[in-house]
Structure formats: structure tokens, C-alpha cells
Amino acid sequence: MKSPAAATGPGPRERLILLTIAAVLAGAVIWLRGGLHPQAPLEALARRSPEMSVALANGRPTIVEFYADWCEACRSMAPALDAVESRQHDRLNVVLLNVDNPRWQPEIDRYGVNGIPHLELFDRSGTTVGRSIGARSRPELDSLAAALIDGQPLPVLGGVGAISSLDPGEAAEGATTIRAAASPVTPRSHG
């Protein structure tokens, strides 16, 4: 024979326990997913990113970041790059290209991306003026953005360099020629 309480369902105490468990689980899910914001800075920045062809043709300097979702350095740099993009969105383009998306393989090859984060820096005319390899701090990103916006030389930072227009056929005598490896190095090859 069943008791009257068992026939009518959980009592007030059991309901309170179930509601508490549900609230704790909901809080844990929200916390694990990065809070109430549906996207982390890297994903939000990537979604706002203009098409590269549009960015290079609109008369604004452009920073193109080659990144991957799994890249911790890319994720750690995202808030700083997001802040630069937010402050300078009317004067500077920020484009993100995911190296794991086969759509961007021609760009990966063209700009010699073999590690991430890799920033390719373009002037107002869409001409490559430099690149940056590795994670950058907010002050470094600010100085790169300011130099691009003002049309000034890039700041002297480790891992940042101007792009040479020197044709390999024009190399000076005695210069060392770097040959391609038998198996190409790609952003994904270092796992």
C-alpha cells in the first residue's frame, strides 16, 4: 500500500532540493561556457570580421590575424585585439582568418603562415607592409594600429618586420637562399 505523499508526488522539501540542484547545474553550465556572453572575444571578433577582399579595398589600413580556435595564444590576445578593433573600427579593419578552415588555404600559402597567431599588416592601399608572429600585448597592438593608421613605420618589436619586395632572383651575391623543406610546415603541423 502506497502512502498518500507518494501518490501525490514530491513534497515541498523535495521540490526545493530539486530546484536547488537545477539552479546549481544551470549556474555551472553558464560558468563553463564563459558567463552570460554567448561568445568569447575571439569568436565575437571573428564573426564581426569583414571579408578580407572588402577590407583591403575600402581605403583603411588592415590587420589580418591568422588564428585557430584551439590556439591559447590567439585566445589570450583576443581581448586586446577586440579592444583595438572597438576603438578604431572606423579607421582600421581587423580581419580574422581561421587556419583550420580550408577556405583560407590560398591566403595561408600566400602569406607564408607557418605559426599562429600571425598578423599580416596592410596599409590603406591594401599593400602588405609588415607582419607580426606570436602573441601581442594590448600596448603592442595599439602601437601597430597607430602606425598603420598614421601611415608611419611599424614599431620595433620582437617578431615584427617589414615585408621585403626583393625578388629571390635579385638576391645579392653571397646571400643565403632558404629552400623549401621537403614536407611543408603549416600552422597545423605543430599540433
For the annotated catalytic residues, the residue numbers are 71, 74
Angle at 59 between CA 165 and CA 128, to 5 degrees: 20
Place of cell 629571390: 168
User: Rounded distance, CA 117 to CA 99, Å?
Assistant: 10
Residues 6+ apart with CB under 8 A from 113: 66, 99, 107, 186, 187
To 10 degrees, the CA torsion angle through 24, 26, 31, 36? -140
DSSP secondary structure of 95-121 = EEEETTSGGGHHHHHHTT--SSSEEEE
